[in-house]
């Protein structure tokens, strides 16, 4: 590991919130800041004070945070052309935030200066110099985001370099080179930074890239190879348009692939949980295919792959998943081989001899069900029930004798009424119940649990957390089979079950029954230990 340190500057709370469907409350931003501090990032950009009440509220509340490593940064721009720093409201708002670090953005592309700011090129240089000099006298660190730097350099390298030089003359701590439009390529980044180092004598630089060409992470890594000592990005790649460079990929690549210090080994283990935590606050589904932190990053489906991984994980994993706090997953499907079944059974606490003939029975049943439309990749509870039944390790606690579901709409402008009747038998005792619900599935759920709670009180804790339906094959229109995935929880554990049928109510019924079966199975196993 090299002694060189690359500082991580997180912009999730500002740039990240400019992404579509991303919005954080003040409380969300404070919680994220604490989580990022636990991860070990060096700087957290909290927002633009003075631009909106939410950012102002964050900076006020952030003063109370007890962070162990990260330093909060306020973001703003260079002073306005017709005002001094003392008179400029944005500059004064930055100081009012009372952060130890201030980052200001300024133009480094002559086209932007003349077309967007409508001022002379020399005036822009004065804005950069004056703003940095003024802030540097009043805060610990000042960073300068050279906006559109790479586009500017390609058009007029002399002027872009003069902007950087003026920032250094004013005492800036680091100049951050921004690929604002996200249109640069890795080889361009590498060549330009090499030229910059030669002309300015290896100055202190950072990098801020966007992902419009799907090379934001690559561009950042090339900049680090070229000497960048600070990288800016967002968790999970949130950001405007196609997003910012993704720190969830950048951080482990810097540490594990480039061999440079950015986070400690213990901090790196928090990467997966930090990614998931922030995903939860966005109310967006986690991106399964993300490198390092996605649920699919270390997931294996093919039987040959699983067999090899069980012998030596390096055969199909470039790092141990625990390095970044993730875990290995073996998926069950019609592509599964003996190794998949043995591995998954071991996860369930069931030791199987790879030569056990019952494995073939399980595989055949699995492939038969998947041919009908079942998928067990996201329904571990249903898979465990399947395995235990095949091995004779499952004792069903109740039996369904009769069911009926009615959906009635009495008037066109009134909501439909759903009613379910259930007859169940437990140890020879029959229970008959009726329940209504907000829909047929809810009515079934209510009736079934109402009938069973008399015998199994622990079912009172069972909650249906999520319910999803997907058409398996649509060539038959409304006669197509549907797959229902139900996610359940008892407050201590979460699990998923699946049901398939051409009748959506029956598919839902199968998934719900599996969920209850699984809950009772786990209760029994817990009591026996």
The token duo for 268 is 């790196």
User: pLDDT tens per residue, the chain (529 residues)?
Assistant: 677 999 999 999 999 999 999 999 999 999 999 999 999 999 999 999 988 889 999 999 999 999 999 999 999 999 999 999 999 999 999 999 999 999 999 999 999 999 989 999 999 999 999 999 999 999 999 999 999 999 999 999 999 999 999 999 999 999 999 999 999 999 999 999 999 999 999 999 999 999 999 999 999 999 999 999 999 999 999 999 999 999 999 999 999 999 999 999 999 999 999 998 898 888 777 788 999 999 888 877 776 777 777 778 788 889 999 999 988 776 665 556 677 777 777 777 778 877 877 888 888 887 788 778 887 767 888 888 988 888 888 888 888 888 888 888 777 777 888 898 999 999 989 999 998 888 888 888 889 988 999 899 999 998 888 888 888 765 555 567 888 888 889 988 888 899 999 888 899 989 999 999 999 999 888 888 7
**382 falls within a domain:** no
In the chain, % helix, strand, coil (3-state, to 5) comes to 45, 20, 35
Residue 323 · residue 351 · CB < 8 Å: no
Assign residue 475 the CATH number of its domain: 3.30.160.270
Domain count, the chain: 2
Determine the pLDDT at residue 133: 98
Determine the pLDDT at residue 386: 87
Angle CA 46–55–100, to nearest 5: 40
Determine the structural domain holding residue 437 and report its residue range. Answer: 399-528
Spatial neighbors of 356 by CB under 8 A, at least 6 apart, are: none
**280 falls within a domain:** no
Determine the pLDDT at residue 494: 87
Residue corresponding to tokens 């409350």: 25
Whole-angstrom distance, CA of residue 242 vs CA of residue 234: 12
Whole-angstrom distance, CA of residue 151 vs CA of residue 163: 14
Determine the pLDDT at residue 179: 98
**247 falls within a domain:** yes
Residue 334 · residue 367 · CB < 8 Å: yes
Assign residue 124 the CATH number of its domain: 3.20.20.70
Domain boundary among 227, 258, 289: 258
Residue 318 · residue 275 · CB < 8 Å: no
Where are any strands of DSSP class E within 386-481?
399-408, 417-426, 429-437, 463-471
Determine the pLDDT at residue 331: 63
Domain boundary among 258, 273, 291: 258
**358 falls within a domain:** no
Question: What are the two backbone dihedrals, phi and then psi, of residue 266, each rounded to the nearest 5 degrees?
Answer: -65, -40
The token duo for 408 is 């009635």
**430 falls within a domain:** yes
Whole-angstrom distance, CA of residue 153 vs CA of residue 328: 44
Model confidence pTM above 0.85: no
Whole-angstrom distance, CA of residue 9 vs CA of residue 177: 13
Residue 408 · residue 416 · CB < 8 Å: yes
Determine the pLDDT at residue 387: 86
**511 falls within a domain:** yes
Using a 10 angstrom Cβ sphere, with 0-12 exposed, 13-18 middle and 19 or more buried, the burial of residue 293 is buried
**435 falls within a domain:** yes
Residues 347, 348, 353, 357: is their CA dihedral positive or negative?
negative
**342 falls within a domain:** no
**Side-chain-side CA neighbours of residue 342 (13 Å):** 16
Domain boundary among 258, 276, 306: 258
């Amino acid at each position: 590991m090299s002694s060189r340190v690359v500082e991580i500057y997180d912009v999730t709370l500002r740039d990240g919130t400019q992404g579509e469907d991303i919005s954080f409350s003040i409380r969300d931003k404070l919680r994220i800041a604490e989580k990022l501090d636990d991860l070990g990032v060096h700087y957290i950009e909290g927002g633009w004070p003075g631009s909106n009440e939410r950012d102002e509220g964050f900076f006020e509340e952030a003063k109370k945070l007890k962070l162990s490593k990260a330093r909060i940064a306020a973001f703003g721009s260079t002073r306005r052309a017709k005002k001094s720093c003392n008179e400029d409201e944005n500059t004064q708002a930055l100081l009012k935030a009372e952060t130890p670090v201030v980052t200001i953005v300024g133009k480094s592309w002559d086209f932007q200066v003349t077309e967007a700011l409508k001022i002379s090129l020399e005036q822009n240089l004065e804005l950069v110099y004056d703003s940095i000099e003024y802030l540097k006298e009043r805060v610990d660190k000042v960073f300068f985001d050279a906006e559109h730097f790479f586009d500017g350099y390609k058009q007029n390298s002399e002027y872009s370099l003069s902007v950087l030089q003026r920032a250094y003359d004013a005492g800036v701590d680091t100049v951050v080179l921004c690929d604002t439009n996200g249109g640069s390529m890795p080889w361009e980044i590498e060549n330009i930074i090499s030229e910059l180092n030669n002309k300015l004598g290896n100055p202190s630089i950072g990098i801020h890239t966007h992902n419009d060409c799907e090379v934001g992470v690559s561009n950042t890594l090339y900049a680090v190879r070229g000497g960048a000592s600070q990288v800016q990005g967002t968790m999970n790649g949130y950001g405007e348009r196609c997003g910012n460079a993704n720190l969830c990929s950048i951080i482990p690549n810097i540490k594990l692939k480039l061999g440079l210090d950015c986070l400690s080994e213990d901090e790196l283990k928090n990467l997966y949980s930090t990614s998931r935590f922030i995903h939860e606050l966005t109310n967006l589904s986690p991106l399964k295919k993300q490198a390092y932190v996605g649920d699919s990053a270390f997931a294996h489906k093919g039987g040959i792959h699983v067999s090899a991984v069980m012998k030596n994980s390096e055969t199909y994993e470039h790092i141990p998943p625990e390095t970044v706090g993730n875990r290995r997953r073996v998926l069950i499907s019609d592509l599964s081989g003996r190794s998949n079944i043995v591995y998954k059974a071991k996860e369930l606490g069931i030791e199987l001899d790879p030569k056990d003939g019952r494995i073939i029975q399980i595989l055949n049943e699995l492939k038969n069900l998947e041919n009908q439309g079942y998928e067990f990749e996201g329904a571990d509870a249903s898979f465990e029930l399947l395995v235990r039944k095949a091995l004779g390790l499952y004792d069903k606690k109740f039996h369904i004798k009769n069911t009926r579901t009615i959906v009635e709409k009495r008037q066109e402008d009134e909501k439909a009424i759903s009613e379910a009747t259930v007859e169940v038998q437990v140890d020879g005792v029959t229970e008959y119940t009726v329940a209504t619900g907000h829909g047929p599935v809810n009515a079934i759920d209510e009736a079934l649990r109402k009938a069973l709670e008399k015998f199994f009180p622990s079912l009172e804790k069972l909650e249906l957390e999520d319910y999803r339906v997907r058409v398996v094959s649509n060539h038959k229109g409304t006669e197509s089979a549907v797959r229902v995935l139900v996610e359940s929880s008892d407050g201590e554990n979460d699990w998923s079950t699946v049901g398939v049928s051409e009748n959506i109510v029956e598919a839902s019924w199968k998934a719900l029954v599996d969920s209850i079966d699984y809950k009772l199975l786990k209760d029994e196993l817990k009591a026996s230990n």
